[in-house]
Amino acid sequence: MKDVRMIVLVRNDKKIKRGELMNIVSDISMKFLFENNESDRSDRLFVNLSLEEALWIKEGMKREIGWASEGELEELLFKSQVHGLPSYVLRSDEKGSEGPQNSILGIAFGPAEFSDISTIVGHYKKL
């Protein structure tokens, strides 16, 4: 059986309150649905799920949450794109956050086979 997960890494160099952290993780976790929405209506969601995405939802949406610096997040995003690992970025301008425009707040890697994600992400500081 496949071990499908999502790893969400959030910037550790910003002072983020617990409630804001929960919002960031929630927004990033569901971003793959909204970015892959094929519906032409704003009140409908139509997504063709991959085998991994369907299994991830069916098995309870396992997530691991951790911290990384903005530089580390940018490097991991590049690596994930090179290797074709699904990744979803939440930027400061999407959340109306203070600070530099378009800076990365966090990234979700997956849903994908955990071994594929850990090859790219490696060891990270868990929350």
pLDDT at 97 over 80: no
Quote the mean pLDDT of the chain: 87
Band (92; pLDDT cuts 50, 70, 90): confident
Instruction: Give me the domain span that covers residue 74.
Output: 4-126
Whole-number pLDDT of residue 109: 95
What burial class does residue 118 get, using C-beta atoms within 10 Å of its C-beta: 0-12 exposed, 13-18 middle, 19+ buried? Answer: middle
The continuous run of DSSP H or E covering 63 comes out as strand 63-68
Whole-number pLDDT of residue 124: 80
Number of domains in the chain: 1
Whole-number pLDDT of residue 95: 62
CA–CA gap between residue 66 and residue 86 (Å, rounded): 17
Q: Identify the CATH number of the domain in which residue 93 sits.
A: 3.40.1490.10
